[in-house]
Structure 1
């Protein structure tokens, strides 16, 4: 607020009987009330802006929930309803419902190789080379081999294992030490199937090649023994034989991922049952109901009214958007859409799906909230999921509750220049008012400062005049007294 320091007015009225300091302060206080009125308006409009943001956030959450209900996948979800032992399975929305016979002949396994015995893990195993290095190559399947440069110090059993593990090769290396103290190098492919079979070649060091070189196709290079032979998974679906290198199979049955666990205990296999899943749809509808009710609670908060006695000021606890037309418009439009008839299908109104509008206020003061009868919705999803989908999605453009409400919310929440929605327009209007109030505050502050400067000048002049008159009066009184005593 505009003010003048007390030091600059402390001399007002000095030498007079007038209390000009107090008068000046009173006038300044009175002038500053003009700023208080503007400040109160600024606070009010800033609260409106915050309330609009809260409203927009709640509407955005509802839009997200409604958008999920416009997706076909929300209504075509499937799930495995059978319990199987030789395998487990998961599905996605592209899976077809039905029963499938799955027989697992064998699961995929990774190759593991065990070296011969070594008396020490820290003794250098390599021979002498010209530059003190040699190259270890590890090949698997048709991929490019991994090459590892080994220094002399890395030719110990521990050094070789560490170098392999640090190379990024699709092989893990471990050291196994027997009770006798002798050690072995164990190599295991990180992937199952025959494509993971390993070949090890050392170039530049024939000594080390003779200790850890391995090629299953060469009788001269058999420095490892096969501890676990690799094998591909073999299985059949409805009698069709299949083979894969992995136990996780996602390309055998559309929309189904199999995780093979063990060979089937019976040659007749097991039945995999894929059924429609109501869980995904139920969760999406519950999210819609929750988001809509949350929006109604937000509306109740920003439009809250506390009654006061006649003649009293409005309560400070009233909502920032009490009586706001934008809020009423949002609430009315959405409520109207909820009550509208959706096509002429099996389900055309929300209550047929177990969703009804409450007629009483919630404890938070919200009106028009929704209640969901999950059993009724599950029955609809089980007996006629397609009709439920049509109710929410419609033609995907202009019909269907989720489609139309999602579109309406998108329009109302739009912030695109030239296509601003109702919320952005309201926020822009409030922000414009806040900006105007800031300008008014600055101008009023300048006006008050000028007014107080004028008062100060006037009071200073008045004080000077009174002091001058008092001095003249004293002088004349003294002169009269002198004349009187000399006569």
Structure 2
């Protein structure tokens, strides 16, 4: 379909270009004809064969190559126009996604005291109205221990240190003559990768102290057991490894400077603990970072001004893109030629898909789900406008619905059923997946949406065409439930990106299948073919020129012979005439 439209568009453009070039071609032909007549010298003088060959060659070149160069001009204009529209569409989509991903169109949580807790919105998760009291009971800490002070060259006995973090597997660290100093032991502990970092700190008096530090959280507390090698000859002045032991039955070893501790907060009377100072799963859509103990009030601010600006910016960018498409596909008028993509099917497809953005559901649920309901109107000429009164009303009455129209997200009711499709690839909605079975014994997983079986490949499932969830891909893990609810919020950014992806799509072999991609490939092929045709035509003109040179050279030779004979006969006749007199 696209190739046909490209050909149609090329023919239309070529026809327009041909009309323009007809007068020029006629003038050129008249000029060449006059040159040929002049070369023939109708007054009877000798023929200027050099000029005649040049004129005849020019006439042949014009008639052979002008149609090709006319098509090349049209093809170049089409390629340039398609590239410009594709670039502007991509910029339009990426700019919108950048705006959305920046979080400025999302309700932002606010902490009453950032010295106690800082807060931010979780990307893709609605925040809603907040009014909570949060008390920070404890800050997460990492266990830290230190040794006594030693000289940097102090040797330690050889043997084994055993590091155990929480309930994990003990890790043995060999101490021998190559690493039996504080710095050598620190390097060996770090190399063990047990989750404890070691460093040697030099004090102002020049002595060195070994410091060990674990990860935050009570479960990350650690112990360090020691054992000198009783069978080895120990270094002179060596210190027993027991001086570096900590925890368990160890005595006289390392000294704890900070205990491992979990963070703890209380939200509206409910206490929650975590190993780190970051909480992003307590209050939906809110990420909290603890700074110190204390109490804060959590509120939120609506991004109404930012959403209003974003809607107006979207409409402006949309209209600019539509103007460019209309210019490229415009019909010829009395004062202007037709656009380079006049009648092109790919452009019609693009305009159709763009026009559907205003009526496409952008969120999974809600009282308002489309741009049209938000106050974006479509005029008779296809351009968009914003009804500011309707927009303000919707922002006031349905703030969460409006905000969700700018959020691209996808979720599953089960942690064993993962959504793996690209965000925004599936239209907004809530989809029930039933009959789920995981892949077992080398077979495939299974599942259905709306009674339509999903396509299976090992543990992956893809929604079949006609199920209403085109583009949805799932991964089924072992132990999955027999059914799951999938919620897709395509959002405006996802919807526009889906349009771009469909237009520029290629199949698994890289062959273009999208309307724009197919058109670009077709135009590129035409460009190559026209270049080949021009090369062949130029070669034919060269052959024609060489043939003329050969023919006229032969003619000049014959004419020279005729002239010599004529001169001889003239002389003889003159002699005969004189003799007779």
Same fold (TM over 0.5): yes
- Matching of residue 187 in structure 1 with residue 236 in structure 2: no
Residue 42 of structure 1: SS of its match in structure 2? helix
- Matching of residue 83 in structure 1 with residue 112 in structure 2: yes
Residue 216 of structure 2: SS of its match in structure 1? coil
Aligned partner (choices 29, 45, 55) of residue 26 of structure 1: 55
Q: Deviations over 1:1-55 (max 9, x none)?
A: xxxxxxxxxxxxxxx9543222212222222113133123112213213322333
1:373 to 1:197, Cα distance in 2 relative to 1, 3 A: farther
**Offset of 1:195 from its aligned partner?**
2.0
Distance, in Å, in 1 between the alignment partners of 2:271 and 2:401 is 38
Distance, in Å, in 1 between the alignment partners of 2:525 and 2:216 is 64
Q: Deviations over 1:104-139 (max 9, x none)?
A: 222121121121121x21x15133x6xxxx544432
Match of 2:71? Answer: 41
Residue 73 of structure 2: SS of its match in structure 1? helix
Residue 218 of structure 1: SS of its match in structure 2? coil
Distance, in Å, in 2 between the alignment partners of 1:348 and 1:232 is 43
Aligned partner (choices 380, 384, 395) of residue 394 of structure 2: 380
- Matching of residue 302 in structure 1 with residue 316 in structure 2: no
Match of 2:476? Answer: none
1:300 to 1:76, Cα distance in 2 relative to 1, 3 A: closer
Distance, in Å, in 2 between the alignment partners of 1:308 and 1:453 is 45
Indicate if the aligned counterparts of 1:141 and 1:196 stay in contact, CA closer than 8 A: yes
1:474 to 1:212, Cα distance in 2 relative to 1, 3 A: farther
Match of 1:452? Answer: 545
- Matching of residue 472 in structure 1 with residue 565 in structure 2: yes
Identify the range of structure 1 (23-32 vs 61-70) with the bigger mean alpha-carbon deviation.
61-70
Match of 1:115? Answer: 147
Match of 1:105? Answer: 137
Residue 81 of structure 1: SS of its match in structure 2? strand
1:196 to 1:280, Cα distance in 2 relative to 1, 3 A: farther
Distance, in Å, in 2 between the alignment partners of 1:112 and 1:290 is 58
Match of 2:315? Answer: 289
Identify the range of structure 1 (157-166 vs 433-442) with the bigger mean alpha-carbon deviation.
433-442
1:146 to 1:305, Cα distance in 2 relative to 1, 3 A: farther
Q: Deviations over 1:149-182 (max 9, x none)?
A: 4552432223333444455443333333333332
1:249 to 1:48, Cα distance in 2 relative to 1, 3 A: same
TM-score (norm 2): 0.60
Aligned partner (choices 246, 252, 257) of residue 227 of structure 1: 257
1:203 to 1:305, Cα distance in 2 relative to 1, 3 A: farther
**Offset of 1:248 from its aligned partner?**
1.6
- Which structure 2 segments of 5+ residues have no match? 1-44, 407-426, 431-467, 470-489
Distance, in Å, in 2 between the alignment partners of 1:180 and 1:410 is 67
Distance, in Å, in 2 between the alignment partners of 1:97 and 1:81 is 11
1:374 to 1:229, Cα distance in 2 relative to 1, 3 A: farther
Distance, in Å, in 2 between the alignment partners of 1:336 and 1:126 is 78
1:357 to 1:117, Cα distance in 2 relative to 1, 3 A: same
**Offset of 1:216 from its aligned partner?**
1.8
- Matching of residue 320 in structure 1 with residue 340 in structure 2: yes
Distance, in Å, in 2 between the alignment partners of 1:348 and 1:171 is 51
Indicate if the aligned counterparts of 1:137 and 1:146 stay in contact, CA closer than 8 A: yes
1:139 to 1:478, Cα distance in 2 relative to 1, 3 A: farther
- Matching of residue 152 in structure 1 with residue 177 in structure 2: yes
Count of matched residue pairs = 442
**Offset of 1:68 from its aligned partner?**
11
Distance, in Å, in 2 between the alignment partners of 1:332 and 1:194 is 59
Residue 111 of structure 1: SS of its match in structure 2? strand
Q: Deviations over 1:314-339 (max 9, x none)?
A: 68xx8533x44548735864686578
- Matching of residue 53 in structure 1 with residue 83 in structure 2: yes
1:87 to 1:81, Cα distance in 2 relative to 1, 3 A: closer
- Matching of residue 201 in structure 1 with residue 226 in structure 2: yes
Identify the range of structure 1 (325-334 vs 92-101) with the bigger mean alpha-carbon deviation.
325-334
Aligned partner (choices 447, 461, 468) of residue 554 of structure 2: 461
Distance, in Å, in 2 between the alignment partners of 1:368 and 1:81 is 41
Distance, in Å, in 2 between the alignment partners of 1:158 and 1:58 is 59
Between 1 and 2, higher relative CO (CA 8 Å, sep ≥ 6) is seen in: 1
RMSD of equivalent CA atoms:
5.0
**Offset of 1:304 from its aligned partner?**
7.8
**Offset of 1:442 from its aligned partner?**
4.9
Indicate if the aligned counterparts of 1:77 and 1:278 stay in contact, CA closer than 8 A: no
Distance, in Å, in 1 between the alignment partners of 2:212 and 2:360 is 68
1:274 to 1:227, Cα distance in 2 relative to 1, 3 A: same
Match of 1:217? Answer: 248
